[in-house]
Chains A and B, each alone.
Chain A
Amino acid sequence: MSARRGVWSDALRRLLASRAAVASLVTLTALCVLALAGPSLSRYAPDELDWAMMGVPPDWVSGHWLGTDRLGRDLFVRTLHGARISLVIALFATLVSLLIGVTWGAVAGYAGGRTDALMMRFVDVLYALPGIFFVIVLTVVFDRSPLLLFLAIGAVGWLTMARVVRGQAIGLMRREFVEAAVAAGAGPARVVFRHLVPNLAGTVVVYATLMIPQMILVESFLSFLGIGIQEPLASLGNLIADGAAEMEIAPWILLAPAGCLVIIVLCFNFLGDGLRDALDPRER
């Protein structure tokens, strides 16, 4: 990487200097690879019942590396499957809220005045509604498909993103380069998407990284309540719900998915912190 490739390469260099962020990045990458390829390492399928081995603790001989649940399903495979689904849902939900939130916030910040006030009051109103309740209603109305689940979570999660982006956009609008672009003949769309959004990218990346674990938690919570991902599909949430029911007799059924969830959430948080430090404009 050449030394003069701008802000992103500087940020990358700083990010790689942070030990926690690098460790998180490595762990997350490993986990993603494992979630994608891992299930084929085991000789069991996620919905396969092992009649001879029901509710056994971790056992290397039989190949149930993390044990089996009450129905004899392999926990290693199910946890990785659950992690895969949870991650995909969280990523898409974040993407959805990113799209809505960044556009909404940038337009409000650009327009200012009455338009801005109206748009942000709308956000305030939505904030006042309990988001989870909203998601529950949506999932009930639109059937419980995983696709709709992430759309619903994303549609609720964009509010804070919109606020953050709007605040940043207002700050940027006062900078001379925006006025220079207008003086050069740039129209509103060009100002928003060529000047505001690229300059917001740092904040947005950091915030999105911190949003993914929240989304995973929301999805897990919904699945734990039984309105998210449905059996026989596994997500971390319904695996934890299963495990919680048996945690006194067979704690490993809870520990495998719960441990996985904790690792993912922690890693994303560390990575987000590292990114925030790396992209902090005050250090530039």
Chain B
Amino acid sequence: MNAVLQAANVGVRFRVGGGTWPRQRLLTAVEGVGFTLGRGETLGVVGESGCGKSTLGRALLGLVPLAAGTVSVDGHRLDRQSDARLRDLRRHAQMVFQDPQGSLDPRMTVGQSVAEPLEIFEPRMSRNERRARVAGVLSQVGLAPAHADRYPHEFSGGQCQRVGIARAIILKPSIIVCDEPVSALDVSVQGQVVNLLAGLQGELGLALVFISHNLAVVRHLSTRVLVMYLGRPMEQGGRDDIYGRPLHPYTRALLDAVPSPEPGRPARVPLAGELPSPLAPPQGCVFSTRCAWANDLCRRARPALDEARPGHQVACHRWREWPGGVPRRED
């Protein structure tokens, strides 16, 4: 496989509390995440709010410093020492944000926002050429070139997200990290934006990292899926394996939490309890406090990320007990 994005053992830590006076604690937001992604592939990253999905996405672009591990995009390496090489990296890796309106500068026209990466990386490009490029990407995302002179507040959320996507593709990057790109949009518009992303991916051969808590959207877009909990990878593998035969109880719980359109079937509450504080993660397996299958071993020792099948990894002590996937709990 021709990998464009490789992440190995990525870790991110934040200092919290204390302010200037050093009474700070370290919060581990992401730990031990690794994957490779080839051209045209999509990695879906799923998990509850606060599980470190967004932080992982930002770490991949160097927006938050890495505490451990390496990321390489098209051969540009990023690790805890890097700083100067970030510029090169950003040429090849761009991001689409969650809040479509909030990610556009309200004092800039849409055209100025879209042109900004070009101004930074191609400062000698002529104004006319730049305008032509902006018009080009705007029509690629389904907007009219005339929209370039308008301000973000004149657009709907879906249109703003198209602008955000136009800004991300103008440099012809090899990967785009999408951080919950559709969760702030109406359902009808979500579909359009998702299809736009999928279309552009095919057209440009992009690798996408698609961060979302919407399992249906991830299933639609992804080739591979990474399930995270409390900053750690729980399970990752091909889409059909993850959705069809999940080997981790947490994945099963997430899948079961999706409301069923079948009438008469009561809503299930498969996950009890709250997400533990990332400042004080549980001993042993981080999921053990909420796992229906947890035993003493789970509460004592942290499971390694095992290669259960080729390309399908799971961090659970008991995955061998359910070769066909974690069974549904009938209660």
Residues of A that sit less than 8 Å from B by CB:
4, 6-7, 114, 117, 175-177, 179-187, 190, 195, 198-199, 201, 284
Is the Cβ of A176 less than 8 Å from the Cβ of B94?
no
Is the Cβ of A185 less than 8 Å from the Cβ of B95?
no
**7 closest cross-chain pairs (CB), A and B:** A176-B103, A185-B90, A198-B107, A184-B117, A176-B102, A183-B95, A185-B120
The CA of A124 and the CA of B227, in the complex, are separated in Å by 48
**Which of B150-158, B246-254, B320-328 contacts its partner?**
B150-158
- Return A204 CB to nearest CB of chain B, in Å: 13
Given A7-B107, A180-B103, A195-B105: A185 and B150 interface contact (C-beta under 8 Å)? no
Contact among A180, A187, A198 with B95 in the assembled complex (CB-CB below 8 Å): A180
- Return A176 CB to nearest CB of chain B, in Å: 4
- Return B133 CB to nearest CB of chain A, in Å: 14
Q: Which residues of B contact A177 (CB under 8 A)?
A: 102-106, 113
Is the Cβ of A184 less than 8 Å from the Cβ of B94?
yes
Is the Cβ of B97 less than 8 Å from the Cβ of A179?
yes
Proximity bits, B178-218, A CB within 8 Å = 1, else 0: 00000000000000000000000000000000000000000
Residue of B nearest to A183 (CB): B95
A114, A184, A187 — most chain B CB neighbours (10 Å): A184
Is the Cβ of A4 less than 8 Å from the Cβ of B116?
no
- Return A114 CB to nearest CB of chain B, in Å: 7
The CA of A284 and the CA of B152, in the complex, are separated in Å by 12
Is the Cβ of A199 less than 8 Å from the Cβ of B107?
yes
Is the Cβ of B120 less than 8 Å from the Cβ of A176?
no
Residue of B nearest to A182 (CB): B63
Task: Give the tally of cross-chain contacts (CB within 8 A).
Answer: 68
- Return A180 CB to nearest CB of chain B, in Å: 4
Is the Cβ of A180 less than 8 Å from the Cβ of B97?
yes
Q: Which residues of A contact B19 (CB under 8 A)?
A: 117
Given A186-B116, A186-B120, A190-B120: A180 and B151 interface contact (C-beta under 8 Å)? no
Is the Cβ of A284 less than 8 Å from the Cβ of B103?
no
Q: Which residues of A contact B87 (CB under 8 A)?
A: 185
Residue of A nearest to B151 (CB): A6
- Return B114 CB to nearest CB of chain A, in Å: 10
The CA of A175 and the CA of B116, in the complex, are separated in Å by 17
Q: Which residues of A contact B103 (CB under 8 A)?
A: 176-177, 179-180
Considering only residues 104-157 of chain B, those with a C-beta below 8 Å from chain A are 104-109, 113, 116-117, 120-121, 150-151, 153-154
Q: Which residues of B contact A190 (CB under 8 A)?
A: 120
Q: Given A181-B116, A184-B94, A185-B87, 11 other A-B contacts at CB below 8 A? A: A4-B150, A175-B102, A176-B103, A177-B102, A177-B104, A177-B106, A180-B95, A180-B97, A183-B63, A185-B90, A186-B116
Is the Cβ of B97 less than 8 Å from the Cβ of A114?
no
- Return B69 CB to nearest CB of chain A, in Å: 20
Interface size class of B (residues with CB under 8 A): 20 to 34
Is the Cβ of A185 less than 8 Å from the Cβ of B98?
no
The CA of A195 and the CA of B119, in the complex, are separated in Å by 14
Is the Cβ of A114 less than 8 Å from the Cβ of B20?
yes
The CA of A117 and the CA of B103, in the complex, are separated in Å by 27
Given A114-B20, A179-B63, A183-B61: A6 and B107 interface contact (C-beta under 8 Å)? yes
Question: What are some 14 contacts across the A-B interface (CB < 8 A)?
Answer: A6-B151, A117-B19, A176-B102, A177-B102, A177-B103, A180-B97, A180-B167, A181-B105, A184-B90, A184-B120, A190-B120, A198-B105, A198-B107, A198-B108
Is the Cβ of A284 less than 8 Å from the Cβ of B153?
yes
The CA of A77 and the CA of B26, in the complex, are separated in Å by 70
Q: Which residues of A contact B120 (CB under 8 A)?
A: 184-187, 190
The CA of A7 and the CA of B150, in the complex, are separated in Å by 11
The CA of A118 and the CA of B116, in the complex, are separated in Å by 32
The CA of A282 and the CA of B78, in the complex, are separated in Å by 41
Contact among B20, B97, B154 with A4 in the assembled complex (CB-CB below 8 Å): B154
- Return B54 CB to nearest CB of chain A, in Å: 11
Is the Cβ of B151 less than 8 Å from the Cβ of A4?
yes
B58, B98, B113, B116 — most chain A CB neighbours (10 Å): B116
Is the Cβ of B107 less than 8 Å from the Cβ of A185?
no
Q: Which residues of B contact A201 (CB under 8 A)?
A: 107
Residue of A nearest to B93 (CB): A183
Tell yes or no: B241 within 8 A of A by CB.
no
Proximity bits, B221-244, A CB within 8 Å = 1, else 0: 000000000000000000000000
The CA of A198 and the CA of B107, in the complex, are separated in Å by 7
Contact among B20, B98, B104, B108 with A117 in the assembled complex (CB-CB below 8 Å): B20
Is the Cβ of A184 less than 8 Å from the Cβ of B151?
no
- Return B101 CB to nearest CB of chain A, in Å: 9
Tell yes or no: B91 within 8 A of A by CB.
yes
Is the Cβ of B107 less than 8 Å from the Cβ of A183?
no
Is the Cβ of A199 less than 8 Å from the Cβ of B105?
yes
Residue of B nearest to A118 (CB): B20
Proximity bits, B35-68, A CB within 8 Å = 1, else 0: 0000000000000000000000010010100000
The CA of A7 and the CA of B117, in the complex, are separated in Å by 24
Is the Cβ of B116 less than 8 Å from the Cβ of A7?
no
The CA of A201 and the CA of B106, in the complex, are separated in Å by 12
Is the Cβ of A185 less than 8 Å from the Cβ of B91?
yes
The CA of A195 and the CA of B87, in the complex, are separated in Å by 19
Tell yes or no: B74 within 8 A of A by CB.
no
Q: Which residues of A contact B61 (CB under 8 A)?
A: 183
Q: Which residues of B contact A186 (CB under 8 A)?
A: 116, 120
B90, B106, B109 — most chain A CB neighbours (10 Å): B106
